[in-house]
Amino acid sequence: MARNPVVGLRALPQPETSFAQCSTGRHTLSVMTVETIDQRPALAAVAEPANAPARPLRVVIADDHARMRRGMRQLLEAEGEIAVAAETSDLQSTAGVVAEHRPDVLVLDMCMPDGSTLKHIGELRKRSPGTQIVIASMEDAPGFAQRALTAGALGYVLKEFADADLPSAVRAAARGDEYLSPQIAGRISVVRQALTEGRLTARETEVLRLIALGHTNVEIARSLEVSARTIETHRANIHEKLGLRTRAELVRYALRCGLLET
């Protein structure tokens, strides 16, 4: 008599089976193989910690005074998230170090011993486009600061107030933001307004400053490494844009803009 199936019991999952032929010489046997299906959940991939520390900002310090470099290094590295990659003492070595390390920020002394810092800012930016420049200076004249920013710097810090300003300037520059020491930030707006009213380009502004200082076209051309004819063109544009005819009028305008405060 056939048995009745047991009611109320859940059937267990059955293993998958397959058959393979196995020869023993005289007879060929069908051998059953059993494949067990692993129903355990797969292990999840290990995720990176959400709060992994960010890469520190990498900085190069360029100043011809060893004590100043040491002080700025200690100040910046005390912040924790800033690392000083290298130090240099002149413009020539600074160019090579910046090209090698490609720091986030270059802290650059305004008065280096082997050339014009302002003239080298553009070249330094070309060597490492991702490096922002913060100028450290003793000069608190707003016209001087504006010239540095026009040349391509993103920050201008007075050394006298470096303890309070330099770390903030480095972080701001790394974000692509401009930073000025508060002692000149307000005064520089007057310079910018005057230059905006005159609609002068950065090169015309520099030519205006040199004219007001009493330099001839030939001297200006030699200083800016262009031809005297180019300076004549700039000079004509300056007179036309400002509506000024004499050198005395240019001097008064340059004084109002703070361009002669060097």
The residue to which tokens 């400002």 are assigned:
242
CATH 3.40.50.2300 in the chain is located at 57-189
Residue ranges of the chain that CATH labels 1.10.10.10: 199-257
pLDDT tops 50 at residue 23: no
Which residues have C-beta within 8 Å of that of residue 147, sequence separation ≥ 6?
118, 205, 206, 209, 259
H-helix or E-strand spanning residue 216 = none
User: What is the pLDDT at residue 4?
Assistant: 45
Span 145-175, pLDDT tens digits: 888 998 899 999 999 999 999 999 999 999 9
**What is residue 52's predicted lDDT score, i.e. its pLDDT?**
52
What would the mean pLDDT of 35-54 be, rounded to a whole number? Answer: 48
Could you tell me which of 176, 170, 158 has the C-alpha nearest to residue 78? Answer: 170
Q: Which CATH class is domain 199-257?
A: mainly alpha
Q: Which amino acid is at 132?
A: Q
Query: Using one digit for the tens of pLDDT, what is the confidence trace for 108-146?
Result: 999 898 888 988 999 999 999 999 999 999 988 787 888
pLDDT in tens, 174-219: 999 999 999 888 778 777 776 777 788 878 888 998 999 999 999 9
Q: What is the CATH number of domain 57-189?
A: 3.40.50.2300
Q: How far apart are CA 181 and CA 173, in angstroms?
A: 13
Between CA 259 and CA 79 the distance in angstroms is 35
Reading the block at residue 110, the tokens are 């305004």
Report whether 178 contacts 191 (CB < 8 A). no
Predicted confidence band of residue 241 (pLDDT cuts 50, 70, 90): confident
Burial class (CB in 10 A: 0-12, 13-18, 19+), 219: middle
Whole-number percent of the chain with pLDDT over 70: 78
Instruction: Provide the CA 181 distance to its chain's centre, in angstroms.
Output: 18
Kindly state the tokens that stand for 123: 């070249």
- Category of 139 on φ-ψ map: left (φ > 0), alpha (ψ -120 to 50) or beta: beta
**What does the pLDDT look like over 49-58, one tens digit per residue?**
555 557 899 9
